[in-house]
Chains A and B, each alone.
Chain A
Amino acid sequence: MDVFFQQLVNAIVLGATYGLVALGYTMVYGIVQLINFAHGEIYMLGGFGALTTYLALPSGTPAGISLPLMLVGGIAVSVTAAVIMERFAYRPLRSAPRLAPLITAIGVSVFLQELVRNFYPHARSARNFPQLVNPDYQIRLGSNVQISAPQLLTVTVALVGMVTLSTFVRRSRTGRAMQATAQDPDTARLMGIDTDRIIVTAFVLGAALAALAGVSSGLQFGQVDFHMGFITGVKAFTAAVLGGIGNISGAVLGGFILGLVEVMATQYAPDPFSGGAWKDAWSFVVLIIVLVFRPTGLLGERVAARA
């Protein structure tokens, strides 16, 4: 049983990462119906932004100071990239046919990866990420079940981020405007809502959460690399679709389910299909199965019914 509970802990940690990134997909998709393929790269840039911040700090800065600064640095880089991307790549295409922005998104994704690979110093292979939160520091949850400090940080950051976002969208004036824009963009404009600003806000919030995920995965695995955004991005989008795209609770639920499927399949799938080599395949198998039975995801989609 200990193995099971330990894997459950791991699944929750993984699910938290997917959920954080999935929120960005779901918000943007809910409002502009765009699969922002480059969102995975925004997550990756968060990790690199934090690394850059760390390297800029004098060595020996205590973790209590450097860690918050790294989070800020990561968020700053991700948010900047997302705003530029929205303004110059996506906004001009807002009235173009659906396929055009998707191709643009793939282009932006390739571009950002290659930008980091070619121009970030020594980023052709993975770069070491500072181990500020000692991974050896394990908290015992049971006789043989434990959670490491970076894992705990990931879950905490994710929960705080998710709760804040959901409160913001539900309670704040801007959050209401986001909901309105998602349900009916034209009428939202008639209410006096600046929909352009709302769309940027969705990109910014999504980028900030993705940056949090990027930093915490750097801390967990002790490295960041230019390619880390692709598979995480695809999985996070899968999570968003699983939960019902456009649906904020759905993205979180989808993230945790995907984390669970991946970790548990790795552990318990019948031989020879268990083990790390197959874990990514399992996520997609589950996605296909879920969509066959619930074509709009587990909690239902929430996107504008455009005329």
Chain B
Amino acid sequence: MSLLEVRDLRVAYGAIEAIKGISLDVEEGQVVTLIGTNGAGKTTTLRTLSGLLKPLAGEVTFDGKRLDSMKAHDIVKQGVAHSPEGRRIFPLMTVEENLELGAYSRKGGTTGEDVASVFTRFPRLEERRAQKAGTLSGGEQQMLAIGRALMSRPRMLMLDEPSMGLSPIMIQLIFETIAELKAAGTTILLVEQNASAALALADVGYVLETGRVVLSGPGKDLLKDDKVRKAYLGED
């Protein structure tokens, strides 16, 4: 049994159905990526998995537990962390306060160790620990968003467009971080526009088009697939 199982998930905004029946699996320790154009339903899928949206139909099972009717704050407690699109750090709080909030779902216990490990991973954040998060650069905010998601000690990390709007150097750094996390055995569900980098990292990839999975398979295979190369990697 996979860690995360999604079966025939359907989600609608009002009368408009954004997800028209998606099924996918994430095994423990895998990196799985969802790629697709704008409006394909990638972000909607993640928001539904983390409970921000309510599905119309379908099942979401995580480690044997049904998530589809659970509230967002309870889903976090099951070990699903979601670093949202656009980073969404708390701008009026300091870097350290943002990280502490990441551990909110773990009642009690110390967070010092986790904060220290985030700082080891992202030394830039340690330099700015007392700074208001709203004053950080885009790349630093992305580090903070990932670090904050790690604070809950998740069993699965969902990253939504972590490279969006960043400089090439920053993008490289973020993908290196994801590779390190993968090497450390973290289960990751990654949504990316940067399909080549994402597929290169991923054990499994799913290609979404207008709310449906049109193609799936090992990341390396998708990378070689003609259709994928044409449509998402910009090659002729």
Q: Do chains A and B touch in the complex (CB under 8 A)?
A: yes
Partner of A183, one of B72, B93, B105: B93
In the complex, whether B152 has a CB less than 8 A from a CB of chain A is: yes
Interchain CA distance A183-B97 in the complex, whole Å: 13
In the complex, whether A186 has a CB less than 8 A from a CB of chain B is: yes
Q: Are B92 and A191 in contact (CB under 8 A)?
A: no
Task: Give the size category of B's interface with A.
Answer: 20 to 34
Closest 7 CB pairs of A and B: A192-B105, A192-B76, A189-B72, A187-B88, A194-B73, A191-B104, A183-B90
Q: A193 and B84 in contact (CB under 8 A), knowing A183-B91, A183-B93, A187-B90? A: no
Besides A176-B97, A184-B88, A192-B76, 4 more A-B contacts (Cβ < 8 Å) are A177-B104, A189-B52, A190-B72, A191-B102
Which B residue's beta carbon lies closest to that of A176?
A: B101
In the complex, whether A299 has a CB less than 8 A from a CB of chain B is: no
Instruction: Mark B91-114 against chain A: 1 for CB-CB distance below 8 A, else 0.
Output: 111000100111011000000000
Q: A180 and B101 in contact (CB under 8 A), knowing A186-B88, A187-B90? A: yes
**Contacts of A140 on B, CB cut-off 8 Å?**
none
Q: Are A183 and B104 in contact (CB under 8 A)?
A: no
**Contacts of B91 on A, CB cut-off 8 Å?**
183
Which residues of B are interface residues toward A (Cβ below 8 A)?
50-52, 71-73, 76-77, 81-82, 84, 88-93, 97, 100-102, 104-105, 148, 152
Q: A189 and B84 in contact (CB under 8 A), knowing A176-B97, A179-B92, A194-B71? A: no
Partner of A179, one of B50, B71, B90: B90
Q: 27 pairs across A/B with beta carbons < 8 Å?
A: A173-B104, A177-B101, A177-B104, A179-B93, A180-B101, A180-B104, A183-B92, A184-B88, A186-B52, A186-B88, A187-B88, A187-B89, A188-B101, A189-B52, A189-B72, A190-B50, A190-B72, A190-B76, A190-B82, A191-B104, A192-B73, A192-B76, A192-B104, A192-B105, A193-B73, A193-B104, A302-B92
**Contacts of B88 on A, CB cut-off 8 Å?**
184, 186-187, 190
Residues from 169 to 216 in A contacting B, C-beta threshold 8 Å: 173, 176-177, 179-180, 183-184, 186-195
Which residues of A are interface residues toward B (Cβ below 8 A)?
173, 176-177, 179-180, 183-184, 186-195, 302
Partner of B105, one of A191, A195, A302: A191
Q: Are B76 and A191 in contact (CB under 8 A)?
A: yes
**Contacts of A186 on B, CB cut-off 8 Å?**
52, 84, 88
Interchain CA distance A173-B145 in the complex, whole Å: 20
How far is the CB of A236 from the nearest CB of chain B, in Å?
24
Interchain CA distance A183-B134 in the complex, whole Å: 11
**Contacts of B89 on A, CB cut-off 8 Å?**
187
Interchain CA distance A184-B102 in the complex, whole Å: 14
**Contacts of B76 on A, CB cut-off 8 Å?**
190-192
Number of residue pairs spanning A and B whose beta carbons lie under 8 angstroms apart = 61
How far is the CB of A292 from the nearest CB of chain B, in Å?
26
- Most chain-B CB neighbours within 10 Å: which of A180, A191, A195, A302? A191
Interchain CA distance A186-B88 in the complex, whole Å: 9
Q: Are A176 and B84 in contact (CB under 8 A)?
A: no
How far is the CB of B86 from the nearest CB of chain A, in Å?
9
Q: A192 and B51 in contact (CB under 8 A), knowing A176-B101, A183-B91, A184-B88? A: no
**Contacts of A173 on B, CB cut-off 8 Å?**
104
**Contacts of A190 on B, CB cut-off 8 Å?**
50, 52, 72, 76, 81-82, 84, 88
**Contacts of B101 on A, CB cut-off 8 Å?**
176-177, 180, 188, 191, 193
Which B residue's beta carbon lies closest to that of A183?
A: B90
**Contacts of A191 on B, CB cut-off 8 Å?**
76, 101-102, 104-105, 148, 152
How far is the CB of A303 from the nearest CB of chain B, in Å?
11
How far is the CB of B93 from the nearest CB of chain A, in Å?
7
Q: Are A180 and B50 in contact (CB under 8 A)?
A: no
Interchain CA distance A159-B82 in the complex, whole Å: 40
How far is the CB of B15 from the nearest CB of chain A, in Å?
16
**Contacts of A183 on B, CB cut-off 8 Å?**
90-93
How far is the CB of B8 from the nearest CB of chain A, in Å?
25
Which A residue's beta carbon lies closest to that of B52?
A: A186
- Most chain-A CB neighbours within 10 Å: which of B51, B77, B101? B101
Q: Are B90 and A180 in contact (CB under 8 A)?
A: yes
Interchain CA distance A188-B52 in the complex, whole Å: 11
**Contacts of A187 on B, CB cut-off 8 Å?**
84, 88-90
Q: A176 and B73 in contact (CB under 8 A), knowing A187-B90, A189-B52, A192-B105? A: no
Q: Are B90 and A192 in contact (CB under 8 A)?
A: no
- Most chain-A CB neighbours within 10 Å: which of B71, B73, B77? B73
Which B residue's beta carbon lies closest to that of A305?
A: B91
